[in-house]
Amino acid sequence: MGNADYVYPTSNVEGAHRVAVPPPQPFVKSLKYNLKETFFPDDPLRQFKNQPPSRKFILGLQYFLPILEWAPRYTLEFLKADLIAGITIASLAIPQGISYAKLANLPPILGLYSSFVPPLVYAMMGSSRDLAVGTVAVASLLTASMLGNEVNANENPKLYLHLAFTSTFFAGVFQASLGLLRLGFIVDFLSHATIVGFMAGAATVVCLQQLKGILGLDHFTHATDLVSVMRSVFTQTHQWRWESAVLGCCFLFFLLTTRYFSKRRPKFFWIAAMAPLTSVVLGSLLVYLTHAERHGVQVIGKLKKGLNPPSFGDLIFVSPHLMTAIKTGIITGVIALAEGIAVGRSFAMFKNYHIDGNKEMIAIGTMNIVGSCTSCYLTTGPFSRSAVNFNAGCKTAVSNIVMALAVMVTLLFLTPLFHYTPLVVLSSIIISAMLGLIDYEAAIHLWNVDKFDFIVCISAYVGVVFASVEMGLVIAVAISLLRVLLFVARPRTFILGNIPNSNIYRNVEQYPNASTVPGVLVLEIDAPIYFANSAYLRERISRWIDEEEDRLKSSAEASLQYVILDMGAVGNIDTSGISMFEEIKKITDRRELKLVLANPGSEVMKKLNKSKFIENIGQEWLFLTVGEAVAACNFMLHTCKPNPLKDDQSEAYNNV
């Protein structure tokens, strides 16, 4: 028998509280608040309030040039620490820069150029104290892969070089625009699982590409997938050079050994940091003394002395390959941002300070724009170099300036010394660095914690290794977005029960000792209600009611009288959601059940009130907590009598 015609108000229940409807707000004010929380969650204008114009001007300069904020407080003690850190990361930046430039199919000297100008720009504009700027392997591989599909770097090196500068320019414009427009949240769509799988896949592909240098091959596939690389390797077995392979394996063993030792003894971090440069020096001496270049060991050759030449005139804006440069810039720019900001935030957390993601985007974007005009290709904050900077005890971004000055000295005076550097040593350096990006422990953790995240991770890895770097990224992002859509479109609902000796109601699956209330079905909706999930929720709530009524009939318990919806997790609702509630109300009315709402939020209450749904359901059937709602229902069940007229009518109807 239903309860739709009970006449006693719930205010008779001791302790019950009326749910308040929030005061109406103008649409413009509400829109302004939502836009502010979306684009300015950190409220960057807060510091400008109640300040004179001169002070506002200084604060504005400090916002875009953080060096003006911390430079006046710089001390000699900071300088000593930054000098040590800067020289240490320079010893890593020089061989890595040359190696990654070769990976991008660019002249090796560009790796040194890219470790000179961009760090100076970042030191003035960046908000991270620990980020060490330079080229990265993944962006280098993407550049080679995407540009190589359009232009052959060996057949048309000039056009390829100009497209690399142009893609770097567009990457910088895209990155800076995201920061200026406060769109940094876009990068958050690259989930942790996506990044773990993508970086591991990219590291695997990079290692496979180094087989060319390790085996001393002259010709190699431009494709990055595993099948193409293996085919290229094993169809040229007659061209393998054992001298190069032995040399590469020896240096790789040396690099991995030093890294393992430094990892076990963190205070000796500098050993692993110096190992790449040591390898370059030893390899160059070995080739010079033994004339190994005559026996199949390929060397870098002549590097041009001097600082970065201008390249603004080399940027291409009217080429048929312009769209390729734009696409390459955007994709590599997103990857560089994700890595740089993630690395910066990680080390900021260790030192307990905050970095502004949008500021970082502006800084990284600006340094790439400037870099594209000074013969540099894409740069960001690589993890390996930043970790060395952090472990070396850097205090401020001055360590980047010291590194840039060390690279400047190298460009002016020391580049001839790299003439005999064997390419196989550069390949060993890249493989050693890339193995650290294959984080199998993180993948195991994902498997133990969240199987769906593990699927996202493996999908990204498989996509990168067996298809292409771009395809792997697209697959991973698509699966991540699909998961978000599934969460929105198929929110979970639970039956709540009472925890013994308390007024607390929890999911009966999570708390087996929680008991359901006779005659009352308590359901929790675990997500905002939108057009994407309203139809599903209507069907799911109806099914819960059917299942509960069937259970009560089979167990000969009291019939179902009330349906309570816990709205605590429903942060918002749209018109489709309101229509869903109206349909649920009709369903409960047809079954002679009473619909009760508990703990509706302010935004939900505001919209339910405007739609007149509160009048439809009755203000007295809204409660602050599930406990109050259940108490009111029990009060009605045990103390109130149903309308006799309704009973007579119902009985007459049943007889007919």
Cα separation, 137 vs 143, in Å, equals: 10
Q: Which residue has the higher pLDDT, 296 or 413?
A: 413
**pLDDT for 484:** 82
Residue 116 pLDDT > 90: yes
Find the mean pLDDT for residues 10-29.
Answer: 60
What is the reported pLDDT for 34? 62
pLDDT number for residue 80: 92
333-386 per-position pLDDT tens digit: 988 988 888 888 888 888 888 888 888 899 999 999 999 999 999 999 888 888
Lowest mean pLDDT among 14-18, 75-79, 405-409, 486-490: 14-18
Which of 258, 206, 104, 192 is closest to 439 using CA atoms?
A: 192
Q: Which helix (H) or strand (E) holds 622?
A: strand 622-623
Tell me what pLDDT residue 218 has.
80
Instruction: Note the pLDDT tens digit of each residue in 451-506.
Output: 888 988 999 899 989 988 778 878 878 887 888 888 888 899 999 999 998 889 99
The one-character DSSP state at 22 is P
Alpha helices for 12-71 (secondary structure H): 27-39, 53-64, 67-70
Q: What span, in angstroms and rounded, lies between the C-alpha atoms of 422 and 623?
A: 76
**pLDDT at residue number 97:** 92
pLDDT at 17: 62
> Please, what is the angle between helix 322-351 and helix 157-180, to 10°?
50
Higher pLDDT, 515 or 648: 515
The two tokens of residue 33 are 């608040």
> Residues 443, 181: contact at Cβ < 8 Å?
no
Strand partners for 562: 520, 594
Nearest CA to 192 out of 390, 454, 440 is that of: 454
pLDDT-derived band at 79 (thresholds 50, 70, 90) equals very high
What are the tokens at 363?
Answer: 């800084």
Helix or strand holding residue 342 (H, E)? helix 322-351
Residue 523: strand, helix, or coil = strand
Nearest 5°: CA angle at 349, between 262 and 473? 80
Q: Which residue has the tokens 């069940």?
A: 637
Higher pLDDT: 437 or 588? It is 588
User: What's residue 38's pLDDT?
Assistant: 56
Q: Which residue has the tokens 């099948």?
A: 227
Q: What is the pLDDT of residues 515-529, one digit of tens each?
A: 988 889 999 999 899
Residue 11: per-residue pLDDT: 44
Handedness of CA 7, 9, 10, 15 (dihedral sign): negative
pLDDT at 16 over 90: no
Query: Across the chain, what does the average pLDDT equal?
Result: 85
Give 46's Cβ-side CA count (13 Å radius): 6
Residues 6+ apart with CB under 8 A from 357: 179, 184, 187, 341, 345
398 near 86, Cβ under 8 Å? yes
- 654 pLDDT exceeds 70? no
pLDDT range class, residue 44, cuts 50, 70, 90: low
pLDDT exceeds cutoff 70 at 653: no
DSSP codes, 299-333? B------SSPPP-GGG--SSSTTHHHHHHHHHHHH
Q: Running DSSP on this structure, what letter comes out for residue 225?
A: S
- The single-letter DSSP state of residue 416 is G
Kindly state the tokens that stand for 406.
């060390």
- Sequence-distant (6+) residues with CB within 8 A of 193 are 446, 450, 453, 454, 456, 457, 460, 476, 480
Return the beta strands (E) in 102-220 as ranges: none
Using DSSP bridges, classify how beta strands 562-566 and 520-525 pair: parallel, antiparallel or unpaired.
parallel
Q: What pLDDT score does 12 carry?
A: 47
Q: Give the rounded percent of residues in the chain with a pLDDT score beyond 90.
A: 42
Rounded mean pLDDT, 152-172? 94
Q: Which helix (H) or strand (E) holds 505?
A: strand 505-507
Q: What is the mean pLDDT of residues 561-578?
A: 92
Residue with tokens 């405007």: 610
Q: Name which of 176-190, 240-254, 564-578 the model is least confident about.
A: 176-190
Compute the distance between CA of residue 194 and CA of residue 192 in angstroms, rounded to an integer: 5
How far is residue 358's CA from residue 553's CA, in Å, rounded to a whole number?
Answer: 60
List the single range of 44-58, 65-79, 371-385 with lowest mean pLDDT: 44-58
- pLDDT-derived band at 297 (thresholds 50, 70, 90) equals confident
For residue range 609-640, what is the model confidence (pLDDT) as tens digits? 889 998 888 888 899 999 999 998 888 887 75
Coil, strand, or helix at residue 422? strand
156 φ/ψ angles, rounded to the nearest 5 degrees: -135, 70
The residue assigned the tokens 């749910």 is: 19
First-to-last alpha carbon distance for the chain, in angstroms, is 17
| Residue type, position 633, single letter | C
Model confidence at 194: pLDDT above 90? no
Domains of the chain, earliest start first: 77-266+273-301+321-483 (no CATH), 490-638 (3.30.750.24)
Would you call 102 helix, strand, or coil by DSSP?
Answer: helix
- Tell me the pairing of strands 594-598 and 562-566: parallel
Least confident of 15-24, 247-256, 569-578: 15-24
Could you say which DSSP state residue 4 is in? T
The reported pLDDT for the residue numbered 652 is 33
**For residues 293 and 283, what is the distance between their CA atoms, to the nearest angstrom?**
11
pLDDT higher than threshold 50 for residue 39: yes
Nearest to 241 by CA among 292, 302, 289, 300: 292
The backbone torsions φ and ψ at residue 422, rounded to the nearest 5 degrees and listed phi first, read -75, 140
β-pairing verdict for 505-507 and 493-498: antiparallel
CA dist., res. 223 & res. 133, Å (int) = 28
